Structure 1
Amino acid sequence: MEAAVVSSTEGVLQILLGKLGAVLAEKYVLLSGVGREIQELKEDLEIMNACLRDLAAGTEYHHSSEQIWFGSLNLLRQLIRISLRDPSCSREETLKDPLRGIETWNISEIIGRCRAHLEDKRYFIVLDDLWSLEDWENLKVAFPDNDKQSRILITTRNRNVAESCCSDSHDLIYNMEPLPFEESKKLFYKKVFKLDKCPPLCQDLEVISDSILKKCSGLPLAIVSIGGMLARTKNKTRAEWEKVCDRLGSGLEASATIGGMRRILSLGYHDLPYNVKACFLYLSVFPEDYEIKRGPLVRRWAAEGFISGMHETNLEEVAAKYLDEFVSRSIVTPTRIASTGLVRSCKERNSTAHDKIQRLSIQTDGSGSDREQENNNTNFSHARSLLILRCSKKPLPISFAHLKLLRVLDLEGCWWLSNEDLKEICKMSLLRYLCLRRTNVSKLPKLVGRLKELVTLDVRETSIRELPETATQLGSLKHLLGGRYRHYTRIGRVKLFEPHEALMIPCGLKNMKSIQKIAHVDIASSSHAMQELGALSQLTKLCAMNSEYGGEKWKPFAASLNMLCKSLRHLSIIHWRNRDMGLEIFLELKSPPIFLEQLYLWARLSVLPPWILSLSYLIELSLRENFFDGELLRQLGKLPSLVSLKLYHESFIGTKLCFEQGLFPRLKQLIVDNAPNLDELRFDGGAPNLERLTLAFEREPAKGIFGIENLSKLKEIEFFGEIIFESLVEEMIAEAQMHPNRPRVYREN
């Protein structure tokens, strides 16, 4: 379990301390090797804690035996594992192998066993990226010189290390040459312009680009980093590029040192605008290798004031641009990307953010140790942000009454949180971000109306069903998130929100003028609020559900929808009682939301609302249980911007699904789930840019799938669901092997 209290006054070593909690927080499914990993991380933590205590006490910490542990000892352990273990042995044999207890061996025992194992063998060992002379001195005694023509290959960035590794004149140091200048130019232009050479319209940049490349000294990492930064600049002018060149200084021109490399790479950070730089530094609040979700991240950025003053732009759009900026500069690595290209989640690529700012991270395993008691007694009254990550059910001794200065409070997953705690939390007058997701709270107190600065309120996956009347006094609120979901059983990535768990919003919604996102609201129990919905001129995202029979409840909602025609970008309509008609009111909207980018429609309709075919900005369309046929597909194929089409559970009931020439010009993702009558799926020139095809069938199509060879950009074919027809999978694998793009064919999970 990890609890992080963000502060700008304290700094501690965080790289190793974060690993143990991340592993132990996972479910205890100890497959091969995981148990040992946990033990090693536990030892890492114990030694790091001891080191920190010694440093705090002023104790000298220069004993070589301890320093050896962090690098050389683990490397030797891995070497012994690789050389002694037979990868083909069974689990029973593994339990009896000679490596049991290796975690407890000291350095002398490991060296002795390594030498004994290699003594009578001819070996070839590769040590990649060796950094220090000390590491080599510690390691080399484990490799016996046994006159059997054994060899050790070492790669290093430090020539002194290379020279030290050479025992006599017969050893060879091979200097890796930098890229030739012409190859450097090709790599640079490919990164900046996606071309092998400078385009004709930018010939004035060629001279200055030569100067930049000279300072990169032919090192690919430096070239790619600078090229990525320049690719993101809006105005590719000679003056802007000269500024970049001047800031590089001598760079790597004199010598390709690590310091020079860091100077080159740090420019990617220093060149960031100040507000983007603040967003980047905020990444350090997360443990290393932690998957950071885009939605909560941007909302925290907004709460911290990093994206303030941009009234004309949706905050999530700004955040997407920031994340794109980080990705292009190799600052973060995307872990999940939507079909539209939006980065859904990411991980920090290295510890740059941790090095740039100071922070305080308190971690506990709930054991009641002296260290934990010391943390409990720490005064956090000055803290601005409190995030509890990977929390267990065991309560943390937090006194919310003392945290009066908090702006951000994220308690996701803290099941020990009570309704009584909320009363203290609602007294935090400066609070701008409050996340109670997946907690055990069941009711918001009336005091919530005091949080006048609150921008985000997240009560998803809680038992909170109704907002108090005082909630409508939250004039600064922009994100109201509620409801509970379950994963769609046929494909785990799809979330189905439960209409009977949606939020009931009281009368007075019109007072929440700043609100941009509402998810998910029950229109049946919020009829007065639905009449006021049209007054929310900044509303861009709305998910509405009806938990009752009949279409009467949709009438005030549809009337308000006419008033939101210019602001809405994302709309979800879920009519839970799918056997009941009554949604024809949506067929004749006088002023439909013409700027929609995402539409999710779960309802039975006799025909598709005609205004959907006029949505020229629509990027993603998800349909469920709509009972449409092939004629609908031909109409949807004319949408000019459609990138993702998801046909879930009985949305298509025809026998032939054909993508004809000229249809779906920009489509990249197609999901077809349970088309009950489908006999044939054809690609006859339509969807030329399709990259991912996802299919689920309850019965095998009688005729099959045709035209895969026409999808020149296809990358993945995925089969999912409870029934997977092996003959169809094998057929697609054969097709993929002949496809020029070699798409990957796989089953879900």
Structure 2
Amino acid sequence: MADQTHSAVDSLLGLLTGAIKDEARLLGGVQGDIQFIKDEMDSMNGFLLHLTKMETEHDDQLRAWMKQVRDIAYIAQDCMEVYMHDLSPPESGFWALISHLPVLLRTAPARRRLAIKIRELKDRVREVGKRRLRYDITVPAAKPKPKPVSKDSTTDEKREDFLRALEVEDDHRSTGVPSPSFSTAIHLLPCNLPTDAGPVIEKIRVKCVPDHVQSMKMLLRALYAYPHGTKEELESLEDKLNGKAADVPEEVMVFCYSKLYTHYKSCLQYLTAFLEEDSISRTSLVRRWVAEGLLARDEGLQTMEEAGERCFNELVFRGFVCPATPVATGQTIKSCNMESSVRDFVVAISKSENFVSGALPTHFRYQIDIRKIARGRGQPPQKAPLQRQRPWNIWDGLCAVPREPQQDDDDGKLHPMDMVVQKLKNLPEEYRLNVLDLGGCTGLKKRHLKSICKVLSLKYLSLRNTDVSRLPRAINNLRKLETLDVRQTDLRPSDTAHIVLPNLKHLLAGSIRPAGDEIESLSTVQMPRKIGRSMEILRHVQILDGKVELHEVGHLKQLRKLGVVLSGSEDNIKHLLRTISKLSECLRSLSVWITAPPPMAGDGGGVTLDNKDGTDGISSSPPKYLESLNIKYFKGTSTSGSLPPWIEGLKLLSNITLRDTQLSANGLRILGKLESLCCLRLRRDSYTEDNISLKKGEFQKLQFLLIDQVCPTIRIAFEADAAPKLQRVVWTFDKNKKMEIMAGTISGIDNLRSLKELELNGDWIDRQDYVNQALAAHPEHPLLRCSFPDSSPRQ
């Protein structure tokens, strides 16, 4: 909670500092009030900053005081933003005053009300400051908070070894061993733990095994991730487990929760906002954490989103969240969820820490309510009394707000989106709405978006997979917006051209749909004409003028993920390669969808991301930190059958997806030499040979291989010492071809020492005896999954 409050106050101080520097434009009588608010908030911020550096639990009085500080910071920031943007006087000078006189006259009542509001805030700030002294609210004695451990490849490999040790215990249980010893995992615990803690850990293991094996695994994960505990803490846990009515899973989970870093606890509690969701998107969750200000910037990380990714990975490692679908070790988790016991625990801990109301924290409760209403599962808001309604919020409360037209459904009930708009109008003044996720909602009209665009505090707006078709120009009112997600919508491509959002960091667009017999087509929106220099993610956007638009993209020095859709003309390819070269120091992910070149472009030959004349400069300055690459050519335009040579020098490239690239066997050899490649997806027409062969010494880090309707491939071979870490193979056959699984179709399964799962999808003749025998003889006993077009998956 201290991190969140500190973030809110820190943001306000920046605004107040800018306002005071511009003294000439302050209203009479307001300057002194603003200076007082700044001085008081500055003192409070120092106190909060000290709290964020201490590893200590906040008592009830301290949490109540921090909540009051955060509420005041939000209201004050709203006041100052309205004033500085809409109501501030003109620059000094006679003619400037004359031209601004009509505005001054029109806004005089609003400016007077704002001055009164700031004076009231001054009194509230003074009282909150006195209250801390009155109740002797101080920082509890505690040791400094340990910093999150910096991660590198060695750390990740050690964690993988530890997780494998835990999995071995499960394998032993499946073979009839009733009581796992966890001896290997305990031996791999960091040496930071007290040397005499071993006997205590063994006593706890006896209490957890065999009935609560998962609890023991979670405890060992916590001790591995947080090796700063003491023997006394472990003995206290042992005493609690020895109680007659002890709930072992709950007591262990409380211990593990206590070992989370403070801001990680806030991020875990935020998962209560997804109680109605079957699965939670990893990227959406991380961006919402950032928008809500729940994260602290870790050393060695450039962006808050990277801090969010680290937090997510830590929660997965510790067992608080788990992948929604099985993934191989090292494979990126797309979505997650919580097991029922963890979910119940997180809800309970959120309520207990929010002692003021005895319910979920305010920002969780409103997020859940809005989400329920938008999905059509919430209760209609109470009708307002006949007297004057509360204004929309402080920023719109300065002038009259017209009522939005509302529509009833056929049964007479208010439409869910109208209910959302009404809910937004009735939010308390102290509540800062940072996140609005309308993903998957129906009935979203332009008039609803116009109302939503009045919520000036929004930092995250998701319209993903909605039926919205137009984006109003009022979207530019959301000056704080950092994430705009319009994926899987039918927006007009030109609707994003007019976007001018100075703080926008993530623009996510593109709608991938089947088109007849073609597996994928991508429709998307145009590149905004004005892009802020803080842009970090831009995908997927349509490039119409490669020379102008890609030149602008090349100046985005914080851009980490780029996805573009463009025609395969020679000029476009040159401009794209130059842009990639300019972004060589910051680009982490690249997705390129090339459509058919214009009719008059050259001789209509093949397309590749490589300039034969060497003028693009990318060979001398490749994107050396690139981790993910996605390439799709328009069917029939790629005739090179090879990969651009600059890919060979990408030392960190770990994830590759290819479509319609017509890759040859030589291209597969290039991929096999990439030293960091963990995940390879070969989709429709990405490969030209009828035999995919992974040869000796290749794909040393590969853990996941997907082959999806790659024609005319009918055989897969794994040679000895190829892909030693491959855990999961998925092969989907061409839907127009009936396959026969027999000896030789998949050979060398016994060479895949780490294989855990083989999945076969498509219309094939049921002769799986060979595969079953090969898997049965495998020392890891991999799982076989089969699905057919006319039935559910078989195992």
The reply to whether TM is greater than 0.5 is: yes
Name the structure 2 match of 1:518. Answer: 538
Name the structure 2 match of 1:612. Answer: 647
Deviation of the 1:532 alpha carbon: 0.7
User: Aligned match of 2:528 in 503, 506, 523?
Assistant: 506
The answer to whether the Cα contact below 8 Å between 1:366 and 1:372 also exists between their aligned partners in 2 is no
1:250 aligns with 2:239: yes
Q: Deviations over 1:306-347 (max 9, x none)?
A: 125459344454334323332333322321254433332222
The answer to whether the Cα contact below 8 Å between 1:409 and 1:431 also exists between their aligned partners in 2 is yes
Name the structure 2 match of 1:268. Answer: 256
Q: Deviations over 1:689-715 (max 9, x none)?
A: 222222234455896332111112222
Deviation of the 1:666 alpha carbon: 1.3
Letter in 2 for 1:372: Q
1:712 aligns with 2:753: yes
Name the structure 2 match of 1:105. Answer: none
Letter in 2 for 1:596: L
The answer to whether the Cα contact below 8 Å between 2:193 and 2:230 also exists between their aligned partners in 1 is no
Q: Judge which range, 712-721 or 676-685, deviates more.
A: 676-685
Deviation of the 1:488 alpha carbon: 9.1
Letter in 1 for 2:755: L
The answer to whether the Cα contact below 8 Å between 1:479 and 1:517 also exists between their aligned partners in 2 is yes
CA distance in 1, matches of 2:494, 2:394: 31
Letter in 2 for 1:601: I
Name the structure 2 match of 1:31. Answer: none
CA distance in 2, matches of 1:419, 1:564: 36
User: Aligned match of 1:232 in 222, 225, 229?
Assistant: 225
1:283 aligns with 2:271: yes
Change over 3 Å in CA distance of 1:615–1:414 after alignment to 2: same
Name the structure 1 match of 2:675. Answer: 640
Deviation of the 1:730 alpha carbon: 4.0
User: Aligned match of 1:669 in 682, 695, 704?
Assistant: 704
Name the structure 1 match of 2:494. Answer: 466
CA distance in 1, matches of 2:690, 2:224: 47
Deviation of the 1:281 alpha carbon: 0.7
Secondary structure of the 2:705 match is strand
CA distance in 2, matches of 1:249, 1:693: 43
Name the structure 2 match of 1:56. Answer: none
Deviation of the 1:550 alpha carbon: 2.5
Letter in 2 for 1:459: V
Name the structure 1 match of 2:484. Answer: 457
Letter in 2 for 1:427: K
1:428 aligns with 2:455: yes
Letter in 2 for 1:307: L
User: Aligned match of 1:566 in 576, 585, 592?
Assistant: 585
CA distance in 1, matches of 2:719, 2:473: 60
Q: Deviations over 1:258-300 (max 9, x none)?
A: 2576344202112211111110111111226731121111111
Q: Deviations over 1:566-612 (max 9, x none)?
A: 11111111112288634354564242211111111112251311111
CA distance in 2, matches of 1:497, 1:315: 33
Name the structure 1 match of 2:560. Answer: 540
Deviation of the 1:186 alpha carbon: 7.2
Deviation of the 1:395 alpha carbon: 4.4
Deviation of the 1:216 alpha carbon: 6.3
Change over 3 Å in CA distance of 1:383–1:250 after alignment to 2: farther
Name the structure 2 match of 1:160. Answer: none
Name the structure 2 match of 1:731. Answer: 770
Superposed, 1:29-40 pairs within 5 Å as: none
The answer to whether the Cα contact below 8 Å between 2:482 and 2:505 also exists between their aligned partners in 1 is yes
The answer to whether the Cα contact below 8 Å between 1:334 and 1:345 also exists between their aligned partners in 2 is yes
Change over 3 Å in CA distance of 1:292–1:676 after alignment to 2: closer
Deviation of the 1:193 alpha carbon: 4.7
Secondary structure of the 1:218 match is helix
Deviation of the 1:670 alpha carbon: 1.6
Secondary structure of the 2:657 match is strand
Superposed, 1:41-60 pairs within 5 Å as: none
Name the structure 2 match of 1:323. Answer: 312
1:334 aligns with 2:369: no
1:595 aligns with 2:631: no
Q: Judge which range, 529-538 or 404-413, deviates more.
A: 404-413
Deviation of the 1:638 alpha carbon: 1.2
The answer to whether the Cα contact below 8 Å between 1:483 and 1:497 also exists between their aligned partners in 2 is no
Name the structure 2 match of 1:623. Answer: 658
The answer to whether the Cα contact below 8 Å between 1:545 and 1:574 also exists between their aligned partners in 2 is yes
CA distance in 2, matches of 1:553, 1:368: 45
Letter in 2 for 1:345: S
Name the structure 1 match of 2:96. Answer: none
Superposed, 1:83-94 pairs within 5 Å as: none
User: Aligned match of 2:442 in 405, 415, 439?
Assistant: 415
Deviation of the 1:450 alpha carbon: 2.3
Name the structure 2 match of 1:166. Answer: none
CA distance in 2, matches of 1:662, 1:364: 53
Paired positions, count: 539
Letter in 1 for 2:471: L
Consecutive unaligned residues of structure 2, counting only runs of 5 or more, are: 1-176, 351-358, 396-413, 598-603, 788-792
Consecutive unaligned residues of structure 1, counting only runs of 5 or more, are: 1-182, 385-391
User: Aligned match of 1:742 in 751, 766, 781?
Assistant: 781
Q: Deviations over 1:50-76 (max 9, x none)?
A: xxxxxxxxxxxxxxxxxxxxxxxxxxx
Deviation of the 1:521 alpha carbon: 0.9
Q: Deviations over 1:718-741 (max 9, x none)?
A: 2224x32433x4432232233232
Secondary structure of the 1:518 match is strand
Secondary structure of the 1:258 match is coil
The answer to whether the Cα contact below 8 Å between 1:278 and 1:306 also exists between their aligned partners in 2 is yes
Change over 3 Å in CA distance of 1:277–1:735 after alignment to 2: same
Secondary structure of the 1:480 match is strand
The answer to whether the Cα contact below 8 Å between 2:373 and 2:416 also exists between their aligned partners in 1 is no
Name the structure 2 match of 1:557. Answer: 576
Q: Judge which range, 353-362 or 185-194, deviates more.
A: 185-194
CA distance in 2, matches of 1:533, 1:321: 27
The answer to whether the Cα contact below 8 Å between 1:551 and 1:581 also exists between their aligned partners in 2 is no
Letter in 2 for 1:706: S
Change over 3 Å in CA distance of 1:734–1:479 after alignment to 2: same
The answer to whether the Cα contact below 8 Å between 1:617 and 1:641 also exists between their aligned partners in 2 is yes
The answer to whether the Cα contact below 8 Å between 2:499 and 2:529 also exists between their aligned partners in 1 is no
Letter in 1 for 2:747: F
Q: Deviations over 1:665-686 (max 9, x none)?
A: 1111222234434454321111
Deviation of the 1:412 alpha carbon: 1.4
The answer to whether the Cα contact below 8 Å between 2:301 and 2:307 also exists between their aligned partners in 1 is no
User: Aligned match of 1:575 in 569, 575, 594?
Assistant: 594
Change over 3 Å in CA distance of 1:613–1:411 after alignment to 2: same
Relative contact order higher in (CA < 8 Å, ≥ 6 apart) = 1
Secondary structure of the 2:687 match is coil
The answer to whether the Cα contact below 8 Å between 1:422 and 1:445 also exists between their aligned partners in 2 is yes
CA distance in 1, matches of 2:699, 2:783: 22
Secondary structure of the 1:521 match is strand
Change over 3 Å in CA distance of 1:225–1:705 after alignment to 2: closer
1:210 aligns with 2:199: yes
Letter in 1 for 2:320: I
Change over 3 Å in CA distance of 1:260–1:581 after alignment to 2: closer
Superposed, 1:356-371 pairs within 5 Å as: 356-357=349-350, 358-359=359-360, 360=365, 362=369
Letter in 1 for 2:592: I
CA distance in 1, matches of 2:555, 2:724: 42
The answer to whether the Cα contact below 8 Å between 2:186 and 2:220 also exists between their aligned partners in 1 is yes
Q: Percent identity?
A: 27
CA distance in 2, matches of 1:193, 1:480: 46
CA distance in 1, matches of 2:560, 2:540: 14
